[in-house]
Amino acid sequence: MSANKHPLYAARKAWTLVPALVMTLAACAAPPPAAAPAAPAAEQPAAPAAEMSFWAKAAEPYKGVTIRGISESTPPSNYVKDVLAPAFEKETGIRVDFETTSWDQQYDKAIKDMEAGTGIYDFVYIEQDIIYSYLKNNYLTNLTQMLKDKPELASPDFDISKFTSFINYFKDPSTGDVYGIPMEAFVKVYVYRKDLFDDPEVQKAFKEKTGRDLKPATTFEEYAEIADFFTEWGKDKELWGTTVQAVTGHPASFYEFFETIAPSFGVYNWGISQDYRASVDKGGSLNGDKAKKALEFWVGQLKNAPPEATKSTWDEVAATFAAGRAAQGWIYGENVAWIASDPTRSKVVGKVGVALPPTAEGVIEEAKAGKGYIGYYDGGAFGIPVSSKNKEAALLWLQYIGQPAVQPEWAAKSARIVHTDTFNDPKVAEMDTQTNGYYTLLREQGPLFAGAPPFPFHAQLREVIAPFIYKAITGELSPSDALDQAAKAADEELVKLGYAK
């Protein structure tokens, strides 16, 4: 048989198609030359002339350096990437390559880089809950020390004392030295549908049913009552009584329980004791009565939540509330702003009420006395890995994003506040009205909330406990059994990790 007569010989054309295709594709995908001018230039924060000369002068030796950073792709980060980084480059000649990616990816990559000491990243996003792990492993540069050592790099305009109390989470507890410059901060608050709560007819129906006046819940009994009522009332209206952030398989459900529900029942620090014990008989409170009551309450609210609750992370919970599918719920503060103000994303613009989360008896008093807390103060900062090879340029950059001049615009664009003064800005005041007082709450009640407990084993322990919470959600385990088993597993893990003796 000769090659030419082979039946497949004709099909050879397919081969010639490949390069042609590739070229077509490349042509399609290539950007038009010079099509994207530095758009953000117009939004550049106006800085006084004197400061400009400081940045330019201090950055002189580092001109042309590229620093690289990584963060989660959030509105505050995207603002940094799109606005602040180009502005900084323009002033200093230091280029900022800023990688924004998903939440788990940014952790993984930053940790790999710092653990291996490769020095890929010159600044990394530090979420509040991971800082203690990073500090334990000496991943981060001491910024206070570095500013002292290199006064020529210290901006006259950068002042640690201008920050809100949130910056305390990024200090080494023993020395008070700062390791991260906060770039976002929120609290997880109780939100409710103001329009429904204020509706006379709804109020009447509620009064008839329960004998009480309809107002935002301050206790869990009231919360459950309101949830029951609205679930019943909203049966044919696509409305449910509460949101529950109860996805299984994703840490979001673990966080809602341990950072919001459990503390407001009086179980702090995940129920882990000072000497790192979890179960009650070893001195912890993870499977104590309060924790069990809290889990029972929370899982019990699933019946009042829309069907997507068990697939809901913080994203979907916010989306659910924004779609007008829940009468009340716990929502991370960074979402409150857009839910209350952005009509392209939310159906409940202008109908959102914000209040302190409901609490069990005595918890508010404990929080005020500084012995406890009622919910989660979340946020993140940028820090410089010890392995970075461009620490000086990165230090300038961190001061740049920490200076007062850039704060108001940034806050208005992405609902985050890290400076005390920012609260007074007119733009923020306007947002405050739109959200019915979220920013006032953040300012005045912020200290009642707290960040994650100072564990150097945050993610490790979370992964051990979380499956039991998942099983409580699906009903595979009763809340009581789930916490008993979780406490046992947590104790074993803490011994294995070498923290508990």
Partner 1 sequence: MQSPRTGWGLLAPTLIILAITGLLPFLYVVYVGFFDWNPFAATKDMVFAGVNNYRRLVFDNDFLQSLGRTLVFAVCAVASELVLGFLLAQTLTKEFPGKTFFRTVFALPLMVAPIAVGATWRLLTMPGLGPLPYYLDKLFGLNYNIGIFSDQATLTLVLMDIWHWTPFVTLVFLAGLISLPKEPFEQAQVDGANRWQIFRYLTVPMLMPIILTTVFIRMMDALRIVDEAWMLTNGGPGTSTLFIGIHIWRIVFPKTDYGYGSAMSLLVLYLTIVLCWLLFVAITSARQHEVEGMRG
Partner 2 sequence: MRRVPRNIGLTVLWIGVTILTLFPIYWLFVISARSRVELFEPQRLIQTTFFAENYIRPLSDRTFRGYIINSVIIATGNALLVTILAVAATYALSRYRLKGSSNIFFWTITNRMAPPAAFLLPLFLLYARVLKIGDWKMFDTHIGLILLYCVFNLPFAIWLLKSIMDGIPIELDEAARVDGATTRMVLFRIIIPLAAPGIAITAILSWVFAWNEYLFAATLTSVTARTITTGLAEFVTVTGTNWGEMAAVSVIALLPALLFLALVQKYIVIGLTFGAVK
Token pair belonging to 414: 């992405």
Nearest to 83, CA basis, from 342, 339, 390, 414: 414
Least distance from partner 1 to the Cβ atom of residue 300, Å: 15
The length of the chain is 501
Choose between 108 and 159: whose C-beta lies nearer to partner 2. 108
- The string of DSSP letters for 256-283 reads IIIIIIHHHTT--GGG--TTS--SGGGT
User: According to the binding rule CB under 8 A, does residue 22 interact with partner 2?
Assistant: yes
- Map the footprint of partner 2 across residues 301-340, applying CB under 8 A: 313-316, 318-320, 322-323, 325, 332, 334-335, 338
Give the Å distances, CA to CA, from 480 to 260, 270, 440, 483.
19, 15, 38, 5
Assess contact for 295 and 263: CB atoms under 8 A.
no
Assess contact for 294 and 260: CB atoms under 8 A.
no
Contact letters for partner 2, residues 70-89 (x by CB under 8 A): x-xxxx--------------
Name 189's bridge partners: 331
Choose between 320 and 422: whose C-beta lies nearer to partner 2. 320
Of partner 2, partner 1, none, which one sits near residue 301, judging by CB under 5 to 8 A according to partner kind?
A: none
Q: What is the DSSP letter of 82?
A: I
Of partner 2, partner 1, none, which one sits near residue 203, judging by CB under 5 to 8 A according to partner kind?
A: none
Token pair belonging to 428: 């923020």
Least distance from partner 2 to the Cβ atom of residue 325, Å: 6
Choose between 307 and 370: whose C-beta lies nearer to partner 1. 307
Assess contact for 377 and 450: CB atoms under 8 A.
yes
User: According to the binding rule CB under 8 A, does residue 371 interact with partner 2?
Assistant: no
Contact letters for partner 2, residues 98-127 (x by CB under 8 A): xxxxxx-x--xx--xx--x-x-x-------
Helix axes 200-210, 220-233, angle to 10 degrees: 110
Among 63, 204, 347, 371, binds partner 2 (CB under 8 A): 347
Choose between 36 and 46: whose C-beta lies nearer to partner 2. 36
Choose between 6 and 368: whose C-beta lies nearer to partner 2. 6
CA dihedral 138, 144, 148, 149 (to 10 degrees): 20
Contact letters for partner 2, residues 35-74 (x by CB under 8 A): -x-------------------------------x-x-xxx
Choose between 105 and 420: whose C-beta lies nearer to partner 2. 105
Least distance from partner 1 to the Cβ atom of residue 250, Å: 5
Least distance from partner 2 to the Cβ atom of residue 210, Å: 29
Name 99's bridge partners: 70
Assess contact for 411 and 148: CB atoms under 8 A.
no
Can you give the binding site for partner 1, defined by CB under 8 A? Answer: 104, 107-108, 111, 115, 133, 136-137, 246-251, 306-312, 316, 320, 325, 456-460, 462-464, 467, 470-471, 473-474, 476, 496-499
Least distance from partner 1 to the Cβ atom of residue 245, Å: 12
Of partner 2, partner 1, none, which one sits near residue 129, judging by CB under 5 to 8 A according to partner kind?
A: none
Of partner 2, partner 1, none, which one sits near residue 462, judging by CB under 5 to 8 A according to partner kind?
A: partner 1
- Map the footprint of partner 2 across residues 211-240, applying CB under 8 A: 238
Q: What is the DSSP letter of 171?
A: B
User: According to the binding rule CB under 8 A, does residue 369 interact with partner 2?
Assistant: no
Least distance from partner 2 to the Cβ atom of residue 407, Å: 19
φ, ψ (nearest 5 deg) of residue 238: 55, 40
Assess contact for 86 and 41: CB atoms under 8 A.
yes
Assess contact for 479 and 472: CB atoms under 8 A.
yes
Q: What is the DSSP letter of 326?
A: B
Choose between 378 and 432: whose C-beta lies nearer to partner 2. 378
Nearest to 98, CA basis, from 135, 136, 56, 70: 70
Residues 6 or more apart in contact with residue 422 via CB below 8 angstroms = 407, 408, 411, 428
Which spans of this chain sit near partner 2 (rule: CB under 8 A)? 1, 3, 6, 8-9, 11-12, 14-15, 17-18, 21-22, 24-26, 28-31, 36, 68, 70, 72-75, 97-103, 105, 108-109, 112-113, 116, 118, 120, 238, 313-316, 318-320, 322-323, 325, 332, 334-335, 338, 343-347
